[in-house]
Amino acid sequence: MFATEMPLSVVIVDAQPIFADVLTAITRSAFPAACIGTARDLAQGLASARAAANVGLVLLDLELPGCDGIVALSVFRKALPAAKIVVVSAVEARRIVLSALEAGAAGYIPKSVPPPVIAAALRLVVSGGTYAPPDYIAPVAASAAVNEPASPASRTTLTARQREVLRLIACGLANKEIARRLRITEETVKQHARAVYMALGVAGRWQAARVAESLGMVEIDRE
């Protein structure tokens, strides 16, 4: 008897029932065989996720009742370390987008984008990529690129291993995936990443990735 792959389980956590229905339809179009559950707040979302099997994707609104959105993201990250947590929110402030990504979101999708874009973004995330609207990230790289990272000296401070870690960060890989690909521990990846951030003069992986791309320091491998 041949083993079959379990269908993807998706939990949608959104306080607005109408938009939750919209997200359900979009998610169903992207993953026809998915098992999809919905919840209106953090507690319901966690209960739904724990009751489901093989939860691989959580769509999380940041404006949940009685809970800070970034805190909710952190709670889901801790409760479901193997799942991809994607923020789908009406909040479009750049600092919130970056905060969510730095807190471990696998993607940030504004509710204002068209359904086909949301579906494509979800497929990208499930396949191992990371999604954020380019217009939200590009100005960060541009502003950082006018400082120390633009100098040749900044580029040469990275070791070969650090440059490889940076390349994989720019590809959107998580620390665990980088560790597996390079056959090193996840803690070693974190140490290299911290050294990269210091050398580039940036605060975290998203700024490092965008600065690296803008300066041509890495070739982005999307395989």
Residue 153 has pLDDT above 70, yes or no: no
> What amino acid occupies position 183?
R
Q: Pick the last residue of a domain from 117, 132, 147.
A: 132
pLDDT, average across residues 154-176: 77
Same domain, 117 and 161: no
Q: What is the pLDDT of residues 46-72, one digit of tens each?
A: 998 888 877 999 999 999 888 888 899
Same domain, 108 and 154: no
Residue 198 has pLDDT above 90, yes or no: no
| Residue 16 domain-assigned (yes or no) | yes
pLDDT of amino acid 97: 86
- Given a contact cutoff of 8 angstroms between Cβ atoms, the answer to whether 189 and 165 are in contact is yes
Residue 22 has pLDDT above 70, yes or no: yes
Q: Pick the last residue of a domain from 108, 132, 156.
A: 132
Q: The tokens 């009685």 sit on which residue?
A: 66
- Given a contact cutoff of 8 angstroms between Cβ atoms, the answer to whether 191 and 161 are in contact is no
User: How many helices (DSSP H) and strands (DSSP E) are in the chain?
Assistant: 11, 5
Angstrom distance (rounded) from CA 220 to CA 141:
15
Angstrom distance (rounded) from CA 148 to CA 158:
14
**Claim: this prediction has a pTM higher than 0.85:** no
pLDDT, average across residues 77-98: 89
When divided into structural domains, the chain yields a total of 2
Same domain, 148 and 202: yes
Range of the domain at 162: 137-214
| 69 vs 145, residue with greater confidence | 69
